[in-house]
Structure 1
Amino acid sequence: MTTHHVHASHPALVTRLKRADGHLRAVIEMIEAGKPCLEIAQQMQAVEKAITNAKRALIHDHMDHCLDAEGSETDRAELRTIARYL
């Protein structure tokens, strides 16, 4: 069973992801409108970077606040697992 984790950083993270979602929707509209591929690729890069940065912030927050400083074996295993997503 998964426990529900809410951190102080989550509202800001949701805001970032909603902004990226809006940006992605704009990229889809660009494609549908037949905009130049270079412009589309540039905007897709911006969306990708926004999502990557949001993911990194989530993982760093988790590492800072959820893992025991003493480092139990469970925490070390979780750290190895979540670090794969960086």
Structure 2
Amino acid sequence: MTTTSTTSARGYSASKDQLQKRLRRIEGQVRGVQSMVEDDRYCIDVLTQIGAIQAALDKVALGLLDQHAHHCVMGAEGQLREDRTDELIGAVARLMRRGVRSWITEPRASTASASRRRCTA
């Protein structure tokens, strides 16, 4: 008699340690940005760090998408494969939409004296 397990491993199980290390590193970067805000650091420096965090999260997301495609989608059969393909396409669409900003306008003219000064309202 054969039995099947009701619990299946996730696609990222093999790289779970690496994934957790990356996420802990990102968590540390977020704490660093919190400290920068507490210390009233220059806005552009804070934004630069936020960009680095977003890039790191994008790498994590791409890794998860890759693992999902190879393990969960390609390993499925029939209707389940179609459903998981649709899920994957939806996840990619959501990740791509995240970067779209309709409210960004042309940058305002700046003066040389404003360079690198702390922003105050």
TM-score range (shorter-chain normalised) is 0.7 to 0.9
The answer to whether the 8 A contact 1:9-1:61 is kept is no
Match of 1:20 among 11, 15, 26: 26
Larger Rg: 2
Q: In structure 1, what is the equivalent of residue 96 of structure 2?
A: none
Q: Which amino acid aligns with 1:20?
A: I
Q: Which amino acid aligns with 1:63?
A: A
Q: Which runs of 5+ in 1 are unaligned?
A: none
Match of 2:42 among 31, 36, 41: 36
Q: Which amino acid aligns with 1:53?
A: K
Once the two structures are superposed, residues 6-48 of structure 1 have per-residue CA deviations (whole angstroms, 9 ceiling, x without a partner) of 6211211111111011001101110111000000000000001
Q: Which amino acid aligns with 1:44?
A: I
More helix by share: 1
For residues 44 and 85 of structure 1, do their structure 2 counterparts lie closer, same or farther at Cα, with a shift above 3 Å needed?
Answer: same
- Aligned partner of residue 66 in structure 1, secondary structure: helix
Moved over 4 A (4+): none
For residues 11 and 83 of structure 1, do their structure 2 counterparts lie closer, same or farther at Cα, with a shift above 3 Å needed?
Answer: farther
Instruction: Compute the TM-score of the two structures, normalised by the length of structure 2.
Output: 0.62
Please report the RMSD computed on the Cα atoms of aligned residues, expressed in angstroms.
Answer: 2.2
Q: Which runs of 5+ in 2 are unaligned?
A: 1-6, 93-121
> Offset of 1:63 from its aligned partner?
1.0
Total equivalences in the alignment? 86
Structure 1 stretch displaced more, 46-55 or 59-68: 59-68
For residues 70 and 22 of structure 1, do their structure 2 counterparts lie closer, same or farther at Cα, with a shift above 3 Å needed?
Answer: closer
